[in-house]
Structure 1
Amino acid sequence: MKKSIHDERYRLLILRLIELRKQLQITQVALAAALDRPQSFVAKVENFERRLDLVELADWLTAMKADPQKFLASLDWFAETALAPTKSGPT
């Protein structure tokens, strides 16, 4: 299994976060301030040097005032897997 930081899905997630940050005209410095972290934290995530966990992703989206559900739905790979209807029945 590949390390998650090198997984194509993770890379697409970070690229989408960068795109969203730029669309919202939020600088790395402003985002870092909202997260109460140094600017280097944002840079390392965006340069694929540091991995975000689920809680950090939620904080990141909250700091950008972005809707987490809409963000995740914008990720084709996530929408196709995690949001797909599940089969119910005995396991």
Structure 2
Amino acid sequence: MKREYYDFLCEILVLLRKEKNLSQKELAELLEKPQSFISKYENGERRLDLIEVLYICKKLNVSPHDLINRMDEIWNE
């Protein structure tokens, strides 16, 4: 369950990035990270810590509360 929920978080972050019409490269530039950083967490090759998730939310202009609510809504469908 733990891994499944983490994968779900990454799926939601991908959806949020795409909703903002950002490529991986564009988001990486906003985060001042290499594009491979985005690719690796989106593909589950790299885990994000809480601070990184919060920073991604900030750069996507999405509140952490909205991220959690979004996860909860979709998770319970």
Which residue does the alignment assign to 2:37? 41
Between the two structures, name the one with larger relative contact order (CA 8 Å, sep ≥ 6). 2
| Equivalent-residue separation in structure 2 for 1:35 and 1:46 (angstroms) | 15
Structure with the bigger percentage of helix: 2
Structure 1, unaligned runs of 5 or more: 81-91
2:38 corresponds to 1:14: no
Code of the residue aligned with 1:28 in structure 2: it is Q
Tell which structure's C-alpha radius of gyration is larger.
1
Identity of aligned residues (%): 36
Q: Which runs of 4+ in 1 moved over 6 A?
A: none
Q: Normalized against structure 1, the TM-score is what? A: 0.75
5 Å matches for 1:68-87? Answer: 68-76=64-72
Q: Normalized against structure 2, the TM-score is what? A: 0.88
Deviation per CA, 1:61-88: give whole Å up to 9, x if none: 11111111111111128x98xxxxxxxx
Structure 2, unaligned runs of 5 or more: none
Considering only aligned residues, what root-mean-square deviation do their CA atoms show, in Å? Answer: 2.0
Q: CA deviation at 1:47?
A: 0.8
* Residue-pair matches, total: 75
